[in-house]
Amino acid sequence: MEIPVLYEDKYLLVVSKPQGLMSEPDAVGHENVADSLIAQLGPLRGNNILRNVHRLDRPVSGALLLARKASVLKLLTAQFTARRVDKKYWAVVSAPPSPANAELRHWLEKDNMQHKAVIYDKPRKKTDEVILRYATLQHTAGKSLLEIELVTGKYHQIRAQLAHIGCPIIGDEKYGSAEKYKPNAIALHARSLRFKHPIEGQAVEVLAAVPADSLWAAFG
Annotated catalytic residues are 57
Determine the Cα–Cα distance for residues 218 and 40; give it in Å rounded to an integer.
31
The DSSP code sequence of 195-207 is EE-TTT--EEEEE
What DSSP state is assigned to residue 199?
Answer: T
Q: DSSP states of 154-186 as a string?
A: -TTHHHHHHHHTT-PBTT-GGGT--S---TT--
Element (H, E) at 34: helix 33-45
CA 3 to chain centre: 16
Distance between CA atoms of residues 84 and 32, nearest Å: 27
Indicate the SS3 state at residue 41.
helix
